Amino acid sequence: MKYATDLTGSWTLSNLGSGGYVTSITVDGNDKVHIVHFRAGNQLTYTTNASGSWVSTVIGVNGGYFASVKTDSANKVHVSYYASGAVNYMTNASGAWVNTVIDNAVGIAGNSSLVLDSLGGVHISYCNYNDNDLQYATNASGAWLNSIADQEGNVGYFSSLAIDGQDLLYVTYTDRTNGKVKFAYTLAGEEEEESDNLCFIATAAFGSPLAGQVALLRRFRDHCLLTNRPGAAFVSWYYRKGPLAARYIAPRPLARAAVRLVLYPLIAFSFLALNGWLLPGLILLAAVGAWLFWVQERRRTPAVL
């Protein structure tokens, strides 16, 4: 495996030893280099010059294909990779390497891609080869959540994930059915292709991005909010602030229950709006309110003998 840099103004090459298949590289806040790669013998290997000289360490022995590496603000390493029929996430944030299985039903999960948000949340895109879907996993809410980002045809191959300064996500991937590259993003406005963004707070409250209530709110966002400028502005603000609130809510049962109670009126409103019943519903609500007011006034007015 070779490492190339133009740090001095011209390209220099370093030989880092044998076994450097399917590499991924990142640079930390101290300008130190971190590389993960696959080595013969099903070994996931981590190579770095953080100590001043190049050191390689085997961090996985059951595979390490299609790895992606990033470092956080503390220069700790975060890696996603495929091994033993599953997408895995590994980090040394605690001081020792710890592995977590993210999805164990993917067949061969080609080319995972990992990014970190401003709060340290992990976001991973990958392809589920069993279903040929683009999938997305994150622990931004405090627990790992998986969702399908695109399932139209054979999609999700060779994904590449990026994140901007507002923690909004962008992903490119291959659509083999139509022979083209797709681009999806979480910015408010029109989408180049398809995005299935998480409703962070609702997902934390109901426990899954696939919950019916969350799906209904996503439809309300796409068909009612993103179709007008004030709604799109609200969605953009929500995707900047939502992950922090969701991270607080997710591990607290009482907070989840309270948020569900708050969300149910919004869910009912969304259902009426999506099905064209909003105006009749508002008229009925106004009629019921007027009737209740009339009944209350009659009780207050003394009878005339």
pLDDT of residue 113: 94
**pLDDT average, residue stretch 27-42:** 90
86: pLDDT confidence band, cut at 50, 70 and 90? confident
Q: What share of the chain in percent tops pLDDT 90?
A: 28
- Side by side, the strands of the sheet bearing 86-91 are 65-71, 77-83, 86-91, 98-103
Asked whether the beta carbons of 71 and 78 are under 8 A apart, the reply is yes
**Helix, strand, or coil here: 174?**
strand
Asked whether the beta carbons of 154 and 175 are under 8 A apart, the reply is yes
| pLDDT tens digits, 180-236 | 777 776 533 333 344 344 577 887 888 766 567 887 888 888 888 888 888 888 887
70: pLDDT confidence band, cut at 50, 70 and 90? very high
Residue 83: count other Cβ atoms within 10 Å of its Cβ: 22
Q: State the Cα–Cα distance between residues 288 and 252, nearest whole angstrom.
A: 36
pLDDT of residue 187: 37
Q: State the Cα–Cα distance between residues 11 and 109, nearest whole angstrom.
A: 34
Say whether domain 1-196 belongs to CATH 3.40.50.1110: no
Give yes or no for residue 58 having a pLDDT over 80.
yes
Q: What share of the chain in percent tops pLDDT 70?
A: 90
Top-confidence residue, 261 or 192: 261
Give yes or no for residue 262 having a pLDDT over 60.
yes
Domain chopping of the chain, boundaries = 1-196, 198-279
pLDDT of residue 194: 40
Q: State the Cα–Cα distance between residues 75 and 97, nearest whole angstrom.
A: 14
In 3D space, the residue among 4, 39, 36 whose CA is nearest the CA of residue 19 turns out to be 39
Strands (E), 72-202: 77-83, 86-91, 98-103, 113-116, 122-128, 133-138, 145-150, 155-163, 169-175, 180-185
What are the helix and strand counts (H, E) for the chain?
Answer: 5, 17
Top-confidence residue, 275 or 106: 275
Q: State the Cα–Cα distance between residues 84 and 42, nearest whole angstrom.
A: 10
Q: What is the mean pLDDT of the chain?
A: 82
Instruction: Read off the pTM.
Output: 0.62
**pLDDT average, residue stretch 248-252:** 83
Q: State the Cα–Cα distance between residues 121 and 248, nearest whole angstrom.
A: 13
**pLDDT average, residue stretch 57-83:** 90
| pLDDT tens digits, 144-174 | 988 877 777 787 788 899 988 878 788 888 8
* Strand bridging mode 77-83 / 21-27: unpaired
pLDDT of residue 251: 80
**pLDDT average, residue stretch 56-74:** 89
Asked whether the beta carbons of 210 and 146 are under 8 A apart, the reply is no
